[in-house]
Structure 1
Amino acid sequence: MSSGIPPWRASASTTTTTPVYPNYTTPAYIPVQARRSLTSPASNSTTPVSPQPTTATTDSNSRKPKRVEWPAPVRMYVQRSFAPEHQIPGVSREEMETKLKLVITEAAQSDRLDKIDWEKLPLPQIMVQNDKTRILANSEASTWGTPFPTQTPKHIPAGDEVTKKRKSAEYQTDSNGYPPWRQTNKTNAFEDRITYSPTDKRQRIDFKNSSSKSQANLEMRKKRFEEGRGMYGSSPSSRGASPTPAPTGPVVGRCQDLEKNYFRLTSAPNPDTVRPLPVLMKTLDLLKKKWKKDNNYTYICDQFKSLRQDLTVQHIKNEFTVSVYEIHARIALEKGDLGEYNQCQTQLRALYAQQLGGHPTEFKAYRVLYFIHTRNWTAMNDALADLTPADKQNHAVKHALDVRSALALGNYHRFFQLYLDTPNMGAYLMDMFVDRERLSALAAICKAYKPDVKIRFITEELGFESDEQSARFILDHISEEMLQERDGVVRLLTGGKAAQLFELSKTEAHRVVDIKGQI
């Protein structure tokens, strides 16, 4: 071309004007105008190109996914699966959710959502637990004892040596294909450290014999393990029994004995040693009669723990279960056994949440008093949060809340009035921390009353039964010289020494108490 413009620049020079930049050289790029239409760049047509329709823009039904209405039994089944009281130790939440999704998906795909009895269908965590039990009981699936494979590594071509890096080039294998760190597997490691004479009979055995012997021992061990798993515990009646398949659901008892000692389970429960519900009801009636007659707490506690165990392994949760735990908790309170009482209290809270009957307000009041005794303020906040407006109108619950308020305000006068008028069996709980509060009250009295105070006043204010009882309590913490008799009246000298001694005793008594009621 005469203009001196190269061919690949000709079209650009005819459609655009190269801008002039003063005092600058021509830029190395080609300025192009912005596209202002939807016309196809390969065509000179001015007709806009319509975008291809898609399913998302044309199908009105695909804009929003269709909502699936699950049947009410399915939703209740899911709620029961996630309930805290139905969780099983050893089954993680991820395993349970995976199983739940699988069950519901299979039912939906096979159109059986309305045909399955979701009330009787085992929960997914129970299915997972049963699957694990079957796997452990299956000798074919148990591979924890199998030896490592002894296959010789395949030859790596020379061209792959660089790409394999240092995976196989840094060690040399022997003729059998074993790397250096597996050499000890071929022979007895202990024999490697012993030198035998050539004529000694205790010479090494070859690798094949050692391997076969180890395999035989492994098979014997596996067989013994399977036989032991088939047994139920170590009771004499089951030692000679044949292996029994692993249970697939709750145990159904067959024992007809009314009395049975408590043993901690170390294996799957034997139905022959578990009592069914009708027998357990007769057992409860028998235990109540024996408690009134003999009052033998050691025997009664052992029998109640056995009764509770039979209820647990059979997954029995009903009004009778609540009654068993309530009676055992009251007996434990009467005897001051806070360990057993706390176990019953924990189970009762879960049972009350399922609306199974019983006396929930009575034991809610006990919980408040129990946490006052243990000084567990975090648990106290949880107990207060569980109270409903109707619960707070109950006499026992209102009394427990008044006790808490009196102690929080330091009103010992009001506290001991409540102590002398405690409903139900709350007095047994208050007896456990009343001496601690008496020391706090005496420390306050020594600061408020100078120079002395009548012993009769202390008896009336601190809820003692007699002046002799109050004087004996005081002498347990101070010396006799601080109690003086004047004009036929015994007085406590509230000087500095007595106040210091009561303050030290108060500090010692207010140490934190654990869940078993121990300092």
Structure 2
Amino acid sequence: MSWASPAAPGVQTTPYPYSSSINTAYTAVPVRSGFDHQTYPVQPQYPYSAPANPPQSTTTMASSSHQQQTQQQKFDWPDSVRSYVQRSFQTWNLDSGVTRAEMEAKLKQTISFTQDHGTMYTTDWNSMPLPQDIIKYERQQALRAPAMAPATAAAAATPAVANPKKRKSSDLSGPEPTVPWRDAKSLSLEDRITKPAMDGPLSAKSKFQKNAEKRQRRGDGGYQSSYRSPSPPPPAGPIVGLNENLEKRYLRLTAAPKAKDVRPERVLHQTLDLLKKKWRKDGNYNYICDQFKSLRQDLTVQRVRNEFTVSVYEIHARIALEKGDLGEYNQCQTQLRALYKAGLKGNSTEFKAYRILYFIHTANRTALNDAIADLTTAEKEERPIKHALDVRSALALGNYHKFFQLYLDVPNMGAYLMDMFIKRERLAALANMCKAFKPDLKLRYITEELAFESDAEAAQFIIDHDGRDFLEERSEYIVFLTGKAGMLFESARSEAFRRVDLRGQI
């Protein structure tokens, strides 16, 4: 696909493309540190897959299916959900015993449940078991039947007899006799996963289930299936932490959290103060990022959603921006968006501006248009947002002169985001200069127009893109041979816009 080039002064071109892929350049910009403001909260949810829908008539199911398809087409998937899906299919997470079709079905089931119940943005997808892990666990449950006593197995295999140890949604009306998070020894993964009931026939059975039924019909070893749908976690209130340690490593949850391992909110306030001091003093990002993820997890499992939660996510997002960690920034940005929508106060203007610049970087035109449509008239007049909208306008019009002037005057920490796509815009501007100014152009002009710090930096940029032969030293100045370099930089510009992935990385 060919893209129109940004125009040089006085040259008419077609609108600027938001294309893809870039070679990201991270430049240290003297802007403010990542914890100059206040913060953000998260709502934890633990439904790991969706319960089966009750039987419906053909007409009702067809109508419902049509509505769901319409909704899915318009739904904007959170970045945390996309990251969860990507993580599920990464090579090192795949399991040869679980087919891709089974994984896709389980993913669809899990995501649909959170969408239908309005918990997609508040679910901690980083702690969600992968679909292959859920499927393997379900298989293990089905294999436990032969080890059961005959009477117990027979009772479990009878659909009309309910297991008194498993609670159903209809049993949750009374008070919970114990705290909602039991000891890990007594709490199995079964207690934390929901899945369709198996009392009736499945519309699509896995190979494992079909083989089990064949053995049952043959009477191999008296096998009888005792598989039942795991019960959902009780909806009673969250735990209250008892841990007094200010520092704690982040560990992905594989069981229900224990109160003794979770820090209460008053301790988390002290933890945040400590982390800000250590970041200023040591600047150890690996340590800080791990501690912030642990802090966020403790907020999530206790369902703490207030202005303190907002500040935690905002500070972590700023630090991630400063270090160019788009993955962590993305997670914070997604949660901040949900928290702002919940009416919690924070620096929403600052982060809405970042969101616009982020979508310019990732060339996500659909998400960019949605972000702009969500802005109010008053928000568009706020300086950070107005600056981000001006950046978008300059690129859309191919006005590289205005774009680089905006780059030199970025409010807050927007310069870190612009650093991520400044290289490709310089290549695009050079390609246009080669068309507009022939046969040559002073290097000083390029330095000033493309916001380089010095002629040496501008020359090095050209040399890094194999343009050494197009720099010529004359008696008083150095010139760039635009007439000869056109094809080289047009090719470099096309490569820079090749593609950008979900996280803004090549």
TM-score normalised to the size of structure 1?
A: 0.56
- The answer for the alignment partner of 1:417 in structure 2 is 405
SS in 2 for 1:491: strand
Residue 93 to residue 357, structure 1, CA distance change in 2 (3 Å) = farther
Residue 307 to residue 400, structure 1, CA distance change in 2 (3 Å) = same
Q: Does 2:503 correspond to 1:516?
A: yes
Structure-2 separation of matches of 1:443 and 1:470: 14
Residue 355 to residue 186, structure 1, CA distance change in 2 (3 Å) = closer
Count residues in correspondence. 318
- The answer for the alignment partner of 1:507 in structure 2 is 494
Q: Does 2:451 correspond to 1:463?
A: yes
Q: 8 Å contact 1:339–1:515 — kept in the other structure?
A: no
SS in 1 for 2:480: strand
Residue 86 to residue 494, structure 1, CA distance change in 2 (3 Å) = same
- The answer for the alignment partner of 2:79 in structure 1 is none
Q: From 175, 178, 185, give the equivalent of 2:219.
A: 185
Deviation of 1:381 after TM superposition, in Å, equals 1.2
- The answer for the alignment partner of 1:390 in structure 2 is 378
User: 1:90-116 deviations in whole A, cap 9, x for unaligned?
Assistant: 4759979xxxxxxxxxxxxxxxxxxxx
Structure-2 separation of matches of 1:125 and 1:462: 46
SS in 2 for 1:440: helix
Question: Radius of gyration: which is bigger?
Answer: 1
User: 1:421-478 deviations in whole A, cap 9, x for unaligned?
Assistant: 0000000000010010000000000000010000000000000000000000001113
Q: 8 Å contact 2:44–2:300 — kept in the other structure?
A: no
Deviation of 1:511 after TM superposition, in Å, equals 2.2
RMSD: 3.4
Q: Does 2:251 correspond to 1:263?
A: yes
Q: 8 Å contact 2:241–2:263 — kept in the other structure?
A: yes
Residue 258 to residue 487, structure 1, CA distance change in 2 (3 Å) = same
More deviation in 471-480 or 347-356? Answer: 471-480
Alignment-mate amino acid for residue 480 of structure 1: R
User: 1:327-353 deviations in whole A, cap 9, x for unaligned?
Assistant: 000000000000000100000000001
Deviation of 1:481 after TM superposition, in Å, equals 2.0
User: 1:4-47 deviations in whole A, cap 9, x for unaligned?
Assistant: xxxxxxxxxxxxxxxxxxxxxxxxxxxxxxxxxxxxxxxxxxxx
SS in 1 for 2:351: helix
Deviation of 1:396 after TM superposition, in Å, equals 0.4
Q: Which has the higher contact order (CA 8 A, sep 6+)?
A: 2
Deviation of 1:181 after TM superposition, in Å, equals 6.9
TM-score normalised to the size of structure 2?
A: 0.58
SS in 1 for 2:256: coil
Unaligned runs of 5+ in 1: 1-83, 97-123, 130-141, 151-178, 188-210, 230-244
Q: Quick one: percent identity of the two aligned structures?
A: 62
Q: 8 Å contact 1:87–1:125 — kept in the other structure?
A: no
Q: 8 Å contact 1:88–1:125 — kept in the other structure?
A: no
Q: From 469, 473, 487, give the equivalent of 1:485.
A: 473
Deviation of 1:370 after TM superposition, in Å, equals 0.4
Q: Does 2:321 correspond to 1:287?
A: no
Unaligned runs of 5+ in 2: 1-41, 55-116, 124-140, 147-152, 156-212
Structure-2 separation of matches of 1:185 and 1:479: 77
- The answer for the alignment partner of 1:101 in structure 2 is none
Structure-2 separation of matches of 1:180 and 1:500: 67
Structure-2 separation of matches of 1:446 and 1:182: 76
Correspondence list, 1:243-322, <5 A: 248-322=236-310
Structure-2 separation of matches of 1:288 and 1:180: 61
Structure-2 separation of matches of 1:301 and 1:181: 51
SS in 1 for 2:500: coil
Deviation of 1:480 after TM superposition, in Å, equals 2.0
- The answer for the alignment partner of 1:173 in structure 2 is none
Alignment-mate amino acid for residue 495 of structure 2: E
SS in 1 for 2:479: strand
Residue 369 to residue 470, structure 1, CA distance change in 2 (3 Å) = same
Q: 8 Å contact 1:450–1:495 — kept in the other structure?
A: yes
Structure-1 separation of matches of 2:118 and 2:426: 51
Structure-2 separation of matches of 1:186 and 1:463: 77
